[in-house]
Amino acid sequence: MSLEELYKEVILDHYAHPRNHGQVEHPTAEVHLHNPSCGDDIYLDVAVKDGTITEARFRGAGCSISQASASMMTESVQGMTVDRARRLVTSFHAMMRGEGTVQDGSPDLVALAGVAKFPVRVKCALLAWDALQKALDQAEGENLHDGQKA
Ligand code: ZN
């Protein structure tokens, strides 16, 4: 089996058996993003406590790349600090520009490196990560609000 075939298997496995599928009971942030170029939808729920992502779950519909990327993303950031997750978002963006591979998070993430060669599919892969970035912005705003109340 070539590396390319192996990566395809990893992506299809996440698509068929998405990790962290569903909703967070008491989310700090909820984000819905739509990718019109492919028709992908991602609904992301994130719970953040004391600067750490305690839970990340998603629902969605769309192509295998978009859903597998969401599955790998939620698997990666579960238990991460918000700062570390933001750095991972930045390095995932770099990987989608063909600039190296990510060094943190789920080891399955490297399976998406080949997507960089297909600009149309890059939007599919980035959808969940854009949703995460938005959710973390929301969550940090919420924490600030809590701080002011205290
Ligand atoms: Zn797509």
Instruction: Return averaged pLDDT per consecutive 10 residues of the chain, 150 residues in all.
Output: 91 98 97 97 97 98 98 98 98 97 96 95 98 96 59
pTM, full prediction: 0.93
Residues flanking ion ligand 1, Cβ below 5 Å = 38, 40, 62-63, 66, 124
CA of 27 to the centre of ligand 1 (A): 26
Q: Which letter, b or e, does each residue of 37-47 get, where b requires 16 or more Cβ atoms within 10 Å of its Cβ? A: eeebbbbbbbb
Ligand 1 centre to CA of 7 (Å) is 17
pLDDT on residue 143: 63
User: What is residue 150's predicted lDDT score, i.e. its pLDDT?
Assistant: 40
State the fold for domain 3-145.
Answer: Sufe protein. Chain: A (3.90.1010)
14 C-alpha to ligand 1 centroid (Å): 14
Instruction: Determine the distance separating the centroid of ligand 1 and the alpha carbon of 64, expressed in angstroms.
Output: 7
* pLDDT attached to residue 135: 98
pLDDT for residue 149: 44
